Amino acid sequence: METVGEDLVLLGIRANGTIGVAAKLRFGLSGAELIRLAAMRRVDIERGRIVVLDPSPTGDALLDDALASMQDRGRPQTAKNWVARHRAGLTRRYLDRLVAAGTIRLERRKALGFIPADRWIVADAGRLAQAKARLDAIAYGSGGVSAEQAALAGLASAIGLSRLRYPGSADRAAVKRLRTVRREQSPGVVAGAVDATGAAVRDAAGPAATAATDAAVRAATDAATRAAIQAATDAAISASIDAATSAATEAAHHAASGGHGGGHH
């Protein structure tokens, strides 16, 4: 799960160094953070709201900030509202992290001699190839997918990254596959958590009570984690689509009005 956010950023960088899905990328990054925190069992999703289970530091500054922001408004926030929140500099922080790792570099230029025209250049072709390979494996695959693949595919599709990476008519099937692949996850993970817990109770009555209970509890924990990841993935993707659509609608209305507003935005 730890590569999903950085993969989205890398896959969003066009050959000319611009960010192809710049306006929507922040929604995908927030969604990726929500999913990662769910996978770490730091948060859960209950009736659409984020419930913080463990607020202690994760060791990742970006995730720590995300986790803190989930607790700063009293009542648990809905996943949709949290993903849609404007968190200043989020995309830039991911870009800076990739720069620090030597994966990309920033080239500062001036168009027409005075207009800033920064470009992000991929310096580590191998790392980009890994991200492409992960997305291609899903887009051109036909079997089941892992939770991480479902997260990457769903978020990439939600923010329009799939059409950026697969623009040709020959790639329509790949775009469709990414849009629907998250539904290929086992739909029974939530039921699995309940069943595994019930199994723990039944097995505890047997002669190998301790061993059976430990195994069943581990199974229940694993199933509950998968359920949390799936719930977070669904919520993050849905919220990313809604937020991106709202942003596009707002931009269209602004353009239709001629961009007037006296600078008060």
CB 60 within 8 A of CB 35: no
How far apart are alpha carbons 217 and 254 in whole angstroms?
A: 54
How far apart are alpha carbons 228 and 208 in whole angstroms?
A: 30
CB 154 within 8 A of CB 237: yes
> pLDDT tier at 196 (50, 70, 90 boundaries)?
very low
Q: Which of 257, 258, 246, 261 is nearest to 86 (CA)?
A: 246
How much is the pLDDT for 18? 92
Please determine, for residue 174, whether its predicted confidence score (pLDDT) is greater than 70: yes
Q: What domains does the chain contain, in order, with CATH numbers? A: 4-243 (1.10.3630.10)
Residue-wise pLDDT tens digits, 208-229: 544 544 554 455 556 666 777 7
For helices 4-12 and 22-39, the axis angle rounded to 10 degrees is 170
For helices 4-12 and 125-139, the axis angle rounded to 10 degrees is 100
How far apart are alpha carbons 101 and 96 in whole angstroms?
A: 9
